[in-house]
Chains A and B, each alone.
Chain A
Amino acid sequence: MRAEDVRPSRRQFVTSALGAAGVLVAGGAGGVAIGRAADGGSSSQVGGTIPFYGPYQAGIATPAQDRLAFAAFDLTSSNRHEVALLLGKWAAAAARMTQGDLIGAVTDAPQAPPIDTGEALGLGPAQLTITVGFGPSVFDSRYGLAGKRPAALADIPPLPGDALRAGISNGDIGVQACSNDPQVAFHAIRNFARLARGTAVMRWSQLGFGRTSSTSTSQETPRNLMGFKDGTNNIKAEATADFDKFVWVGSETDQPWMRGGSYVVTRRIRMLIESWDTDFLADQENVFGRLKNSGAPLGGKTEFEPVDLVARHPDGTPVIPADAHIRLASPHAHGGKKILRRGYSFTDGIDPDTGLLDAGLFFIAYQKDPREQFVPIQRLLGGSDSLNEYIRHTSSALFAVPRGLSGPGDWWGKELFG
Chain B
Amino acid sequence: MYSRPLPHARTLRTAGTGAVVAVAVAACGGASSGGGTAGASGSSRHAVVTISEADGCQVSATSFRAGALTFDITNKDANAVTEVELEANGRIVGEKENLPAGFTGSFSVNVDGGSYELVCPGAKPDSVAITVTGKAASSAGTVADLLRQGAKEYAGYVNDQATELVEAAETLRDAIKSGNLTDAQTAYDKARPFYEKIEPVAESFTAGKVNLDADIDAREGDVPAAQWQGFHRIEKGLFADQSVEGLSTYAAGLVANTKTLRKLTVGLTFQPYEIANGAQELLDEVAASKITGEEERYSHIDLVDIENNDEGAEQAFAALRPGLTKIDSQLTATIAARFAALDALIETYRTGDNPSGFVYYGDLTKADKRKLAAAVKAVQEPLSKVASKVAQV
Residues of A within 8 Å of B101, CB to CB, are: 88, 91-92, 95, 408-409, 411
Given A85-B103, A88-B102, A110-B13, A3–B381 Cβ distance below 8 Å?
A: no
B127: A residues at CB distance < 8 A:
2
Q: How far is the CA of A107 from the CA of B9 in the complex (A)?
A: 15
Q: Is A279 an interface residue (CB 8 A)?
A: no
Question: With A111-B387, A112-B387 as given contacts, are A89 and B374 in contact (CB-CB < 8 Å)?
Answer: no
Q: B82, A105: Cβ atoms under 8 Å?
A: yes
Knowing A110-B12, A408-B101, the reply to whether A89 touches B387 (Cβ < 8 A) is no
Chain A residues with CB below 8 A from B81, complex form = 104-105
Are A408 and B12 in contact, with the CB atoms below 8 A? no
- Pairwise interchain contact A198-B77, C-beta atoms closer than 8 A: no
Assess whether B1 is interfacial by the CB under 8 Å rule: no
Check B384 against A112 for contact (C-beta < 8 Å): yes
Shortest beta-carbon distance from A414 to chain B in Å: 8
Nearest residue, chain B, Cβ from A102? B80
Asked if B13 and A109 make an inter-chain contact with CB atoms under 8 angstroms apart, the answer reads: yes
User: Which of B16, B76, B101 is most buried by chain A, counting CB atoms within 10 A of its CB?
Assistant: B101
Q: In the bound complex, what is the Cα–Cα distance between A264 and B17 (angstroms)?
A: 47
Within 8 A of B (CB), among A85-108: 85, 88-89, 91-93, 95-96, 101, 104-108
Asked if residues B381 and A198 are in contact (CB atoms below 8 Å), the reply is yes
Q: Is the CB of B102 within 8 A of A409?
A: yes
Q: Which residues of B contact A101 (CB under 8 A)?
A: 80
Size of the A side of the interface (Cβ < 8 Å), in residues, is: 37
Also in contact, A197 and B100, with CB within 8 A (given A92-B79, A105-B80, A111-B13) = no
Q: Are A111 and B388 in contact (CB under 8 A)?
A: yes
Inter-chain CA distance A88–B13, complex, in Å, is 28
Nearest B residue to A76, CB-CB: B374
> Residue of B at shortest CB range from A414?
B102
Q: Which of B73-119 contact A (CB under 8 A)?
A: 75-82, 98, 100-103, 119
Query: Does A4 lie at the interface of the complex (its beta carbon under 8 Å from any beta carbon of B)?
Result: yes
Closest residue of chain A to B10 (Cβ to Cβ) is: A110
Q: Which residues in B have their C-beta under 8 angstroms from that of A108?
A: 13
**CB-CB nearest in chain A for B377:** A197
Shortest distance between the CB of A137 and any CB in chain B (Å): 17
Chain B, range 143-187, C-beta contacts under 8 Å to A: none
Taking the closest CB of chain B, its distance from the CB of A112, in whole angstroms, is 4
Q: Is B310 on the interface with A (CB-CB < 8 A)?
A: no
Are A107 and B121 in contact, with the CB atoms below 8 A? Answer: yes
Chain A window 119-150, contacts with chain B (Cβ cutoff 8 Å), 1 for yes, 0 for no: 00000000000000000000000000000000
Cross-interface CB contact of B77 among A3, A111, A113, A407, cutoff 8 Å: A407
CA distance A92 to B14 in the complex (A): 27
Q: Indicate whether A111 sits within 8 Å of B79 (C-beta atoms), given known contacts A4-B126, A104-B122, A106-B122.
A: no
Please give the distance in Å from A324's CB to the nearest CB on chain B: 41
Chain B CB within 8 A of A190 CB: no
User: Which B residues from 292 to 350 make CB contacts under 8 A with A?
Assistant: 334, 338
Q: Which positions 357-393 of chain B face chain A at CB distance < 8 Å?
A: 370, 374, 377-382, 384-385, 387-388, 391
Closest chain B residue, CB of each to CB of A4: B124
B32 sits at the interface (CB 8 A): no
The distance in angstroms between the C-alpha atoms of A104 and B78, with both chains bound, is: 10
Partner of A113, one of B338, B377, B384: B384
Q: In the bound complex, what is the Cα–Cα distance between A93 and B102 (angstroms)?
A: 13
Taking CB atoms and an 8 Å cut-off, the chain A residues in 217-257 that contact chain B are none
The answer to whether A111 touches B80 (Cβ under 8 A) is no
Known: A85-B98, A91-B100, A111-B9. Contact between A96 and B381, CB under 8 A?
A: no
A263 to B124, CA, bound (A): 38
A109 adjacent to B388 (CB under 8 Å): yes
Flag if A197 contacts B378 (CB, 8 Å).
yes
Assess whether A337 is interfacial by the CB under 8 Å rule. no
Number of A-B contacts (CB under 8 A): 117
Least Cβ–Cβ distance between B378 and chain A, in angstroms? 4
User: A375 contacts the other chain (Cβ, under 8 Å)?
Assistant: no
- A198 to B377, alpha carbons, bound, how many Å? 7
Q: Is A410 part of the contact surface with B, judged by Cβ < 8 Å?
A: yes
A201 at the interface (CB under 8 A from B): yes
| CB-CB under 8 A for A3 and B12, given A105-B82, A408-B77, A409-B77 | no
Complex CA distance for A104 and B100, rounded to whole angstroms: 9
Contact with B along A1-27 (1 / 0, CB 8 A): 111110000000000000000000000
A115 to B82, alpha carbons, bound, how many Å?
10
Within 8 A of B (CB), among A274-304: none
Q: Which of B5-59 contact A (CB under 8 A)?
A: 9-14, 16-17, 53
Interface residues of A in 390-415 (CB under 8 A from B): 407-411, 414
Give the contacting residue for B9; candidates A110, A410, A411; CB below 8 A: A110
Residue of B nearest to A410 (CB): B102
In Å, the complex CA distance between A95 and B100 comes to 12
CB pair B377–A104 under 8 Å, yes or no, is no
Question: Which chain A positions have C-beta within 8 A of B16?
Answer: 2
Check if B250 is an interface residue, CB within 8 A of chain A. no
Q: How far is the CA of A84 from the CA of B378 in the complex (A)?
A: 17
Q: Which chain B positions have C-beta within 8 A of A88?
A: 100-103
* CB-based contact B124/A85 at 8 Å: no
The reply to whether B100 and A89 contact each other, CB–CB distance below 8 Å, is: yes
Contacts of B119 in A (CB 8 A): 2
> Bound state CA distance, A111 and B384, in angstroms?
9
> With the chains together, A84 CA to B82 CA distance in Å?
14
In the bound complex, what is the Cα–Cα distance between A194 and B384 (angstroms)?
12
Instruction: Collect the chain B residues with CB atoms within 8 Å of residue A96's CB.
Output: 79-80
Chain B residues with CB under 8 Å of A198's CB are: 334, 338, 377-379, 381-382
- Determine whether B239 belongs to the interface, using a CB cutoff of 8 Å to chain A: no
A88 to B76, CA, bound (A): 12
Q: How far is the CA of A259 from the CA of B135 in the complex (A)?
A: 57
CA distance A47 to B36 in the complex (A): 59
Contact status A104-B80, CB under 8 Å: yes
Nearest opposing residue in chain A for B390, CB measure: A111
Q: Are B388 and A112 in contact (CB under 8 A)?
A: yes
Asked if B2 is at the interface (CB within 8 A of a chain A CB), the reply is no
B231 contacts partner chain A, Cβ-Cβ < 8 Å: no
Residues of chain B at the chain A interface (Cβ within 8 Å): 9-14, 16-17, 53, 75-82, 98, 100-103, 119, 121-127, 273, 334, 338, 370, 374, 377-382, 384-385, 387-388, 391
Q: A104-B121, A111-B388, A197-B377 given. 18 additional CB < 8 A pairs?
A: A2-B16, A2-B17, A2-B126, A3-B80, A3-B123, A4-B125, A88-B101, A89-B82, A89-B100, A105-B80, A105-B123, A110-B388, A111-B387, A112-B385, A112-B387, A198-B377, A408-B78, A411-B101
Closest 3 CB pairs of A and B: A105-B122, A408-B77, A105-B121
Q: Can you pick out 26 interface pairs between chain A and chain B where the beta carbons lie within 8 Å of each other?
A: A1-B14, A1-B17, A2-B16, A4-B125, A84-B103, A91-B79, A93-B79, A101-B80, A104-B81, A104-B122, A105-B81, A105-B82, A105-B122, A109-B388, A110-B10, A110-B13, A111-B13, A112-B13, A112-B388, A198-B378, A198-B381, A198-B382, A408-B53, A408-B102, A409-B102, A414-B102
